[in-house]
Structure 1
Amino acid sequence: MGQAVGVEVGLADVPALERGVALLGSGGGGDTVTAAALLRGRLAAGDRNALTPLGELARDAQVVPIGVIGATAVFAEKLPSGAEFRDAIAAVERWTGRRTDALVSIEVGGLNGIVPLVVGGQLGLPVADADLSGRGVPRLDQLSVAAAGKGLTPLVLAEPGGQVLVLAEATAAEVERTARAFLAGAGGWAVLVLAPIPAAELADCAIPDTVSSALSLGRQALSADAEALAATTGGRVLGSGRVVEVSRRPGPGKHGRTGFARGSATVRDHRSRTLIRLEMENEYLFAMRDGEPVASTPDVLALLDHRTGVPIPCDVVRRGVEVAVLQLPAAPFWTDPRHLPVLAPRAFGIDCDPVLEVRR
């Protein structure tokens, strides 16, 4: 196997990476602050983090998708020891008989845009400049490998208490249900590791260049306001104003199971005096202006604090805060008609076609 050439991510890059992955979380994705602190700690301790484009990995390199799932808000209260990641990777290696050559994030949006770099530095493994979502997604059956028809099993779940579960065979929907059941007894979160994927195959079912793109996006966001950020990224600002209403409600369940919590946040635009309503689940999913659809998933929707520019997650948005409503273009993978239904509004129970007005 050839040696891949890596680009190091250093301490000076962490603030930009954190801001970029927070934006791509679309209001979800978990606690980037704690993930960034973990990365800073590992870098300060001397870890080296190599970020490698997919095309620079040997075609037969075995790339392991990795991430954290569950109630990631608990992540800050119940920090990983590091053993969870080692145990999960070791288990998938034993089950498949293949050795891990590199890691790739399951989700660039939120804390999972950072966690693989922490693990890669700890284990001395390069991290592919790619991920399996291109943004924040709430369900495992919405990862790009599932959308591309590759499947998710075999996979491993490892929780902080030491329990490790190998799921040998299941549909993507069954994987999602099994993982949620496992999390109920896992203390809130768990490590997810998928079986190694040869780099040559990963190119067809992953979204390339997303970690470096998040880093670039974060650099721009740290040095520009929302209007300038939209202009340089092919996005747009839907409006700026005060959050005048936030409502939350139980989500629609399936087969007797409770769904994710749903809700909405309404912003009164200062200039037009129109009302911009954002429908949200784990992420911001759909935007209307005075009742007319103006933006939707799979584009990334974000609320930025007017004073600091920091993205405001769905679970903490509140009345009275001044915000800008930002729309960023989806990765081309998700605008492909073969994959679009997986993240379109109807995939979340919103009876509307996708509204993808942003163009590169």
Structure 2
Amino acid sequence: MKRYMDEQTVAALSRGAMYLGSGGGGDVKLTELMAKRAIRENGPVPLLSPFHVPDEAWVIPVAIMGSTTIFSEHLPSGSELKKVVETIENEKHIAASAVTGLEIGGMNALTPVIAAALTNLPLLDADGMGRAFPELQMTTYHGFGVKASPAVIANRPSKTHLLLSDENTDIEKQARILVTSLGGWAAIACYPMQGWQMREAGILQTYTLTIRLGEALSAAMDAHDVMEKMQQVFQKSIYGKPVKLLEGKIVDLQRNIIEGTLKGSLVVEGSGAYIGEYLSVFFHNEYLLVQKHNATLVTVPDLICVLDEETGYPLSVEELENHGKVWVIAIPSPFLLQTAKMLDVVGPMQFGIAERFIPMEERIKPNDNEG
């Protein structure tokens, strides 16, 4: 049965995507409002299963790239997303059968919904990250051999920029330079692929999962409630069961802007059942590493979240405050991200962490720190 995304579904997607941002991915509020408006004006968006796409049908991933702060100050119309899809179609002489996402964490879970509504195309139920990552090549699409080129960038519907290269990392470099010259943000379409490629290279059915997560969390009252509902949703998914690592107070926060990105760490001092315990969380746009007494508990690509104790809402690295009362939790990443191909793209070494990835389930004892 085909599912359609309406304004209520978009609200659930937005709520769930906050948690999959792992501290990054940008604020969902603006893209949520844009997606709701696009649906109100153009009708509900069909959510298409990857298993119902013909092998030869073309799918085009879309996203917003650049500074989320500048993006929120220079309001887009949404038609930039439509334009980059249409330009890819013209460049490759194809007709897209669907659009899909680059990342399901944060604001870019919503941008494909906007593009789908404005182009009257279905949204394919998949993405290339299963969370948020900072760079274009940090996708399963890249890891499994899909070319990012041709890529198209625009932050005005009247003007598009075509990027061509056989190297996906070169597309990332070109795109960063161009986005900066355009004022700090732009819509992008890249990694055009066919249905058979999407089924091999995508992380499938992440939209359905994220919507289900958002629906489950819609009535959650605090961190206890959020954690319980997250465990119920994730343990029946391609992710693993979330684990609570610590609850307590942020007692040290180091945060610096380095080459346009937020890099730093926080220390959480345990309270309640965790008195006497300390966790260090390191981040670079997203939370990447958790250590306890210098022993590693969790590393990227597994997801790390810092929740506000009172509301259960996930805190981005920008929102952290000294003395804030928080929970630190971790979620096992989809297995596809843990394969050797993908660890070469999004493993700890790619973020300057000098150790190999070990799944959090192997580092944390069963029933350890649950609650």
**TM-score past 0.5 threshold:** yes
- 2:261 maps to a residue whose letter is F
Q: Which deviates more from structure 2 when the two are superposed, residues 81-90 or residues 291-300?
A: 81-90
- What's the counterpart of residue 118 of structure 1? 114
Instruction: Provide the aligned C-alpha RMSD in A.
Output: 1.9
User: Is 1:309 paired with 2:305?
Assistant: no
Which residue of the partner structure matches residue 295 of structure 2? 292
Matches for 1:37-116 after TM superposition, within 5 Å? 37-116=33-112
Contact 2:262 2:317 in 1 (8 A): no
CA distance in 2: counterparts of 1:144 and 1:222, whole angstroms: 30
The 5 Å alignment of 1:195-210 reads 195-210=191-206
Residue type of the alignment partner of 1:236 = V
Report if aligned partners of 2:19, 2:314 keep a CA contact under 8 Å in 1.
yes
The question of whether the paired residues in 1 share the 8 Å contact of 2:98 and 2:124 is answered with yes
Equivalent residue for 1:330, pick from 330, 333, 339: 333
Q: 8 Å contact 1:241–1:267 — kept in the other structure?
A: yes
* Mapping of residues 274-289 of structure 1, within 5 Å: 274-289=277-292
Indicate if the aligned counterparts of 2:213 and 2:230 stay in contact, CA closer than 8 A: no
What does residue range 242-253 of structure 1 map to in structure 2 within 5 Å?
Answer: 242-251=249-258
Structure 2 residue identity aligned to 1:332: F
Question: Do 1:306 and 1:323's aligned partners in 2 also have CA atoms closer than 8 Å?
Answer: yes
Distance 1:231 1:194 in 2: 34
Query: 2:243 pairs with 236, 239, 250, which one?
Result: 236
- The code of the aligned residue for 2:29 comes to V
Maintained 8 Å contact 1:230/1:328? no
Aligned partner of 2:262 in structure 1 is: 261
Contact 1:141–1:176 (CA under 8 A) maintained in structure 2: yes
Separation (CA, whole Å) in 1 of partners of 2:336 and 2:121: 26
- Pairing 1:354–2:357 present: yes
Query: Contact between 1:294 and 1:355, CA under 8 Å: does it hold in 2?
Result: no
Any conservation in 2 of the 1:237–1:326 contact (CA below 8 Å)?
yes
Partners of 2:298 and 2:226 in 1: how far apart? 17
**Structure 2 residues not aligned, in runs of 5+:** 235-240, 367-371
Q: 1:186 to 1:6 in 2, by over 3 A?
A: farther
CA shift for structure 1 position 229: 3.5
- State yes or no: 1:185 paired with 2:181: yes
Which deviates more, 280-289 or 328-337? 328-337
Give the Å deviation of 1:174: 1.1
Match of 2:3 among 3, 7, 31: 7
Alpha-carbon distance, 1:246 to partner: 1.1
Match of 2:323 in 1: 320
Q: Does 1:211 align with 2:214?
A: no
- Cα 1:161–1:181 change in 2 (3 A) is farther
Worse-matched range after superposition: 141-150 or 155-164: 155-164
1:226 Cα deviation after fit: 4.0
Q: Residues 89-124 of structure 1: CA distance to partner in whole angstroms, max 9, x if unpaired?
A: 222112111111110111111111111112211221
Q: Which moved more, 1:295-304 or 1:81-90?
A: 81-90
Structure-2-length-normalised TM-score: 0.89
Alpha carbons of 1:160 and 1:56: their partners in 2 closer, same or farther (altered >3 Å)? same
Q: CA deviation at 1:181?
A: 0.4
Question: 1:27 Cα deviation (Å)?
Answer: 0.6
Distance in structure 2 (CA, Å) of the matches to 1:352 and 1:90: 43
State the Cα distance separating 1:230 from its structure 2 match: 4.9
Q: How far does residue 242 in structure 1 lie from its aligned partner after superposition?
A: 1.2
For 1:216, the aligned partner's letter is R
Query: Which structure 1 residue ranges, 5 or more long, are not aligned?
Result: 252-257
CA contact (8 A) 1:17 1:215 kept: yes
Instruction: Tell me which residue corresponds to 1:255.
Output: none
Give the superposition deviation at 1:332: 1.4
2:157 and 2:227 mapped to 1: Cα distance? Answer: 46
| Residues 95, 14 of structure 1: alpha-carbon distance in 2 compared, 3 angstrom cutoff | closer
| One-letter amino acid matched to 2:269 | R
Partners of 2:106 and 2:86 lie apart in 1 by 25
Deviations 1:163-197 (A, max 9, x none): 31111224122111111100111121111111531
Once the two structures are aligned, what percentage of the paired residues are identical?
25
2:191 and 2:267 mapped to 1: Cα distance?
42
| 229 and 292 in structure 1: CA distance in 2 versus 1, 3 angstrom threshold | farther
Change (3 A) 1:186 1:239: same
- Offset of 1:356 from its aligned partner? 1.7
Kindly state the Cα deviation for residue 250 of structure 1 after the two structures are TM-superposed: 5.0
Normalising by the residue count of structure 1, what TM-score does the alignment of the two structures yield?
0.92
Q: Does the Cα contact within 8 Å between 2:299 and 2:360 map onto a contact in 1?
A: no
Structure-1 residue corresponding to 2:237: none
Aligned residues: 350
Deviation at 1:162, TM superposition (A): 4.1
Deviations 1:203-254 (A, max 9, x none): 1111100011111122233344243135322110111111111102354xxx
Structure 1 stretch 190-199 or stretch 107-116: which is displaced more? 190-199
Q: Tell me the residue number matched to 1:157.
A: 153
Distance 1:82 1:42 in 2: 8
